[in-house]
Amino acid sequence: MTHLLPRFIRTNPSLALFALLATAFSGFGQTFFISVFGSSLRHEFALSNAAYGSYYSLATLGSALVLLRLGTIVDRWSLANTITLALALLGASGLLLGLAPHWLLLIPGFFLGRLGGQGMMTHIGFTAASRYFDRDRGKVMALTVSGLPLSEALLPAAGGLILAAWGWRAPWLLAAGFLLLLALPLMRWLSRDAAHPETVRAQAAQDDTGGGSGFTRRQALRDPGLYMILPGALAVPFTVTAILFHQTAIAELRGWPLETIALAFSGYALGHFAMLFVAGPTVDRIGARKALMIGLYPMAAGLVVMAMTHANWTPFLYLALVGMSQGFAGTAGNALWPERYGIGHIGAIRSLAQALMVLSTASSPILAGLLLDAGTTPGGLALGFAGGTVLASLLIGLAPDVKPPHAEPP
């Protein structure tokens, strides 16, 4: 049967599926799933919108800080052990939220979910795609990224149906059972033949594949180009989170029916998913850095459309363009780190990028909210984000090439 699979999957189908499912299972700790239960949690524990949002932001920020340290274990632990820890954190989050008798337990519940889901699960999936696939890395990365729209399509709908039938606690308890009893054995089985990261690093240093033994995180931090590339790598999650979080407020200011916004998200999901088929081959052909530059422009164009037009069709077009950048830049951005810094210490370097991404998604809704409260129009907000996106793309092009690192202990 494996001969029917594409070549880039055929080299290691178990690990390709592992990387895809790791990002898909991260959905249990992503905002698009947790937000389904927002009104139920606020009502159950008599929380204001501000209090609920503050607890969630606090948990998200804390998870980003812990991820900086915890994320490095993917360079030292076996793949089976790292995925066990991540799924245990995510499962514990489901149990804690599903059984919480008091609002105080929401904070550690959110923290474990954000750390295990948005933090560790996506980090492990993208690191596995980077470490175990030298050829066609862009296509494998696109496959890995596709776990996110798959999760977006299934989990909120399933969670909402279960909530309507059995209440808000049931989805969390069922999620915990699924993660610990089904997902955990499956992921350990899929990772059974994965070489230990230290073995991969030693082999890479010996035969100079995958970028040799690669940069340590300390060496990468001394690369001036890193600080010119990071704004582009963070531009899409930063902007998308801000825009989507305040989408209903923007719709009210523009006079768009909420039903229109809900339908327009289908265009966002379609653009996200469709662009994955283009992004992978493009990364393999022209490199991740150039691909990331190109991938930011659909979002910039979508934001200009949002700023300049007020018609009811506007959300469909601009969200579709934003979704295209989500798929394209997600693939190119995650392929960029092994391309630039090698795979020897890719876990430590990716954990830095992942933590900064989490921090950016925690801060951008606050920034956008302050600007809207200060009187900034949706059009002005969109043009500001569009200008920042174009500037971030230009900075990627101006970043100097990296020089091979000197030998240094991790």
Q: What is the mean pLDDT of the chain?
A: 86
C-alpha span between 370 and 357 (Å, rounded): 20
For residue 362, give Cα distances in angstroms to 16, 105, 132, 213, 242. Answer: 30, 20, 31, 33, 9
Q: Which of 207-211, 340-344, 388-392 has the lowest mean pLDDT?
A: 207-211
In 3D, which of 397, 350, 266 has the Cα closest to residue 74? 350
Cβ proximity of 124 and 15 under 8 Å: no
Which pLDDT tens digit goes with each residue over 1-33? Answer: 455 566 656 678 899 999 999 999 999 998 778
Question: For position 60, what pLDDT does the model report?
Answer: 86
Average pLDDT over residues 195-217: 70
Question: For position 5, what pLDDT does the model report?
Answer: 60
pLDDT band at 210 (very low <50, low <70, confident <90, very high): very low
pLDDT band at 206 (very low <50, low <70, confident <90, very high): low
Torsion angle of the four alpha carbons 365, 321, 225, 397, in this order, in degrees rounded to the nearest 10: -150
Average pLDDT over residues 271-280: 85
- Tell me the domains of the chain and their CATH numbers: 1-194 (1.20.1250.20), 211-399 (1.20.1250.20)
**Dihedral pair phi/psi, residue 67, rounded to 5°:** -60, -30
Question: For position 24, what pLDDT does the model report?
Answer: 95
pLDDT band at 284 (very low <50, low <70, confident <90, very high): confident
pLDDT band at 209 (very low <50, low <70, confident <90, very high): very low
Highest mean pLDDT: which range of 171-180, 252-261, 323-332, 395-404: 171-180
Average pLDDT over residues 234-248: 83
Q: Which of 91-105, 218-232, 292-306, 362-376 has the lowest mean pLDDT?
A: 362-376
Q: Record the pTM.
A: 0.81
For residue 205, give Cα distances in angstroms to 45, 139, 410. Answer: 55, 24, 14
Q: Which of 77-81, 371-375, 402-406 has the lowest mean pLDDT?
A: 402-406
Question: For position 204, what pLDDT does the model report?
Answer: 66
Q: Which amino acid is at 10?
A: R
Residues, the chain: 410
Q: Which of 129-143, 168-182, 325-339, 373-387 has the lowest mean pLDDT?
A: 129-143
Average pLDDT over residues 243-263: 76
Q: Tokens 């659909």 identify what position?
A: 298
Question: For position 407, what pLDDT does the model report?
Answer: 47
Q: Which of 99-108, 124-133, 356-365 has the lowest mean pLDDT?
A: 356-365
Question: For position 10, what pLDDT does the model report?
Answer: 67
44 pLDDT more than 70: yes
- Tokens in use for 63? 């998870």
pLDDT band at 205 (very low <50, low <70, confident <90, very high): low
Cβ proximity of 337 and 349 under 8 Å: yes
Which pLDDT tens digit goes with each residue over 308-324? Answer: 988 888 888 998 999 89
pLDDT band at 265 (very low <50, low <70, confident <90, very high): confident
